[in-house]
Amino acid sequence: IVVAGFYIISAYQARQNPGEVPSTFGFTPLTVLSGSMSPAIETGDIILIKNGSIGLKSGDIVTYKTGSALITHRIKEITKGNDKTAYITQGDSNI
């Protein structure tokens, strides 16, 4: 019931702001479309993501936007330099 509520609110927000990923109470429900994170997350699974990058560490699973696609992968390495932080990610099944 909770997931259905998230989807109803998300569908409404998507119609109101088609260029943005909808969220409810700071969380965004997404359906996994590929097997790149298998076996931890399988194709067809529903995940909830929350915006923010404070306290991320190697091994955490993150979702990020590249172009118009959302990618969910695990952080493999974190590098810092020039007041910027870079995350190297990889899907669990892409080893």
Which residues carry out catalysis? 34
The residues, ordered by sequence, that sit 6+ positions from 88 with a Cβ below 8 Å of its Cβ are 75, 76, 77, 78, 79
CA 12 to chain centre: 20
CA 91 to chain centre: 12
Distance CA 92, CA 34 (A): 12
